[in-house]
Chain A
Amino acid sequence: MSGDLIFLMFILMLAVFLGLELISKVPATLHTPLMSGSNAISGITLVGALLAAGAGDSTPLSIALGTAAVTLATINVVGGYLVTQRMLSMFKKKRGDRK
């Protein structure tokens, strides 16, 4: 158990560094899509929600909490990726077309 925990902490530390490196390269012009995109990624908690809602032999409260978690996380995932894609499709370089 504690071995697992330490292993997960290693992952956490490395992922934070990786994130800091990657994100610092994102240009200012993409900061809003970056935020809505990372909104979608934070919907990853859907994994935990699926495990909670699908566990079976649950009390009504468990079911309610799990289902609500699935709903909120899905809103984030679906809404986040769609709106990011919508925004990014507008970022165009179009000087060539006009002249």
Chain B
Amino acid sequence: MSVTIQLAYLLAAFLFALGLKLMSSPETARWGNLASACAMLLTVVVTLLHTEVVEYQWILVGVLIGSAIGSLAATRLQLTEMPELVALFNGFGGGASLLVGWEAYHRQPLQDPLGAVTILLAVVIGGVTFSGSLVAWGKLKEIGWGSFRLSRPLLFPGQQAINFLLLALLCLGGVLYGLDSPESQTLFLVLLALAFLLGIVVVVPIGGADMPVVISLLNSYSGLAACAAGFVIFNNILIVAGALVGASGLILTNIMCKAMNRSLTNVLFSGFGAVARKSRKGTGGDPRPISAEDAYFILEAARSVVFVPGYGLAVAQAQHAVMELGELLEDNGCEVRYAVHPVAGRMPGHMNVLLAEANVSYDLLVEIDDVNPNMETVDVCVVIGANDVVNPAARDDAESSIYGMPIIEVDRARVVIVLKRSMAAGFAGIENPLFYKDNTRMLFGDAKSSLNAVLGEFKRS
């Protein structure tokens, strides 16, 4: 590879790293994305000058189709569909690395053991990422046939045994393949199929509120797949960029797991929430339903309000109504903040993007540790479509299956207004004692219409 290309890759590696560095603040993040995009452009352009690239027609075809689909998806998409898009893109990244490995194998089936292993890694990691991401995408899209819903965790007896058997077969096949890189494609294709199957069985038992973990993990895999492809073609920029993505996904996975107080193995293998658990403690008392007018009187008198959004906000598309109510309250001399739990929604940062879309200033968004210590001074907490992340059982009830998970302790505020469709349990299938507390008021109905009703009360006065 020529010196010019290597120097350009060096510059690109610098720009990729700089881009991530600039992501450390919302003010500079746009420049970070731009730096990263420039790095990518530079890399692609100098790669086209590579002496091994002699034909351009197929590249042109791929680039044209890819750009058309990519730009259409990016501009047409509703931002509430971001989790689906990210899941799909994870899959495409893995798929591309898989194809690069496959092509390398097809071009030169007889490899030395090291070459064979790197190809196999690219193909297997890419394959797992691809099929796993497609399943994750289907879950987020709520695809289903009849009474079967893909979004629900799918569990069956002997599931773990099957998973481990698949993994063992894959390892065994990998060793066979590495020892004697065969000219026959059969073993290669069998391994490819096993990788696809593994991706599917790993993601199928996971659902609902655990999706952020899976998406982060698949994100990491798509980077690792690119890394492996880098080892196949001995290319350093693939390794650098792939490692950065791999690290990013790992950190996000870790943050998500911590926010649920669960280990990664627990998330991947336990099929949490598959069975609705009965609460063991009697909750006692009745919920106190209120009308939009009552909610207006409570909010109108409040000096400080904290909104706590959850997945229900995304479902009801209520982000604009929340923003409007927040602005009215601010004009009313009230301090308004938005407390976002790390696992609220279906992907990391899901709520932040929705609120940003609705023009909520990002400095009003606070995290658990910022809001919990002085919760007593908060007049009203408005819980919008969140459930498990505000469940006091996680703090008080050692018997509860979510015990130990960090929560936003809304029950310590003076008044809590919960916007909810019905009294149904949250994803984890656990009763929420919050709904029965003395300082809790329930505003039943679709989050968006409830908020609009409250807004109406404000405007009338």
Interface residues of A (CB under 8 A from B): 1-2, 4-5, 8, 11-12, 15-16, 18-20, 22-56, 58-59, 61-63, 65-95, 98
Given A49-B62, A69-B100: A75 and B235 within 8 A (CB)? no
Interface SS of B by simple majority: helix
Closest 5 CB pairs of A and B: A74-B66, A19-B247, A70-B62, A31-B349, A79-B70
Q: Does B114 contact A (CB under 8 A)?
A: yes
Q: A15-B240, A55-B107 are in contact. List 4 more A-B contacts (CB 8 A).
A: A37-B36, A44-B237, A48-B230, A51-B53
A92 to B359, Cβ gap below 8 A?
yes
A16 to B247, Cβ gap below 8 A?
yes
The interface residues of chain B lying within 8 Å CB-to-CB of A78 are 66-67, 70-71, 74
The interface residues of chain A lying within 8 Å CB-to-CB of B362 are 29, 91-93
For residue A84, give the distance in angstroms from its CB to the closest CB of chain B.
5
The interface residues of chain A lying within 8 Å CB-to-CB of B32 are 37
Task: Select from chain A the residue with minimum beta-carbon distance to B67.
Answer: A78
Query: A-B pairs with CB below 8 Å: how many?
Result: 376
For residue B108, give the distance in angstroms from its CB to the closest CB of chain A.
10
For residue B385, give the distance in angstroms from its CB to the closest CB of chain A.
18
The interface residues of chain B lying within 8 Å CB-to-CB of A37 are 19, 23, 32-33, 36
B43 to A22, Cβ gap below 8 A?
no
A23 to B247, Cβ gap below 8 A?
yes
Interface residues of B (CB under 8 A from A): 16-17, 19-21, 23-27, 29-30, 32-34, 36-37, 40, 43-44, 47-48, 50, 52-56, 58-59, 61-63, 65-67, 69-71, 73-75, 77, 79, 82, 85-86, 89-90, 92-93, 95-97, 99-100, 102-104, 106-107, 112, 114, 215-216, 219, 222-223, 225-227, 229-252, 255, 327, 330, 340, 342, 347-350, 352-353, 356-357, 359, 361-365, 367
A37 to B104, CA, bound (A): 27
For residue B121, give the distance in angstroms from its CB to the closest CB of chain A.
12
The interface residues of chain A lying within 8 Å CB-to-CB of B20 are 19, 22-23, 26
The interface residues of chain A lying within 8 Å CB-to-CB of B79 are 86-87, 90
The interface residues of chain B lying within 8 Å CB-to-CB of A26 are 20, 23-24
A72 to B348, Cβ gap below 8 A?
no
A52 to B104, Cβ gap below 8 A?
yes
Task: Select from chain A the residue with minimum beta-carbon distance to B219.
Answer: A35
Partner of A92 from B114, B230, B241, B361 at Cβ < 8 Å: B361
Task: Select from chain A the residue with minimum beta-carbon distance to B104.
Answer: A52
B86 to A36, Cβ gap below 8 A?
yes
A30 to B347, Cβ gap below 8 A?
no
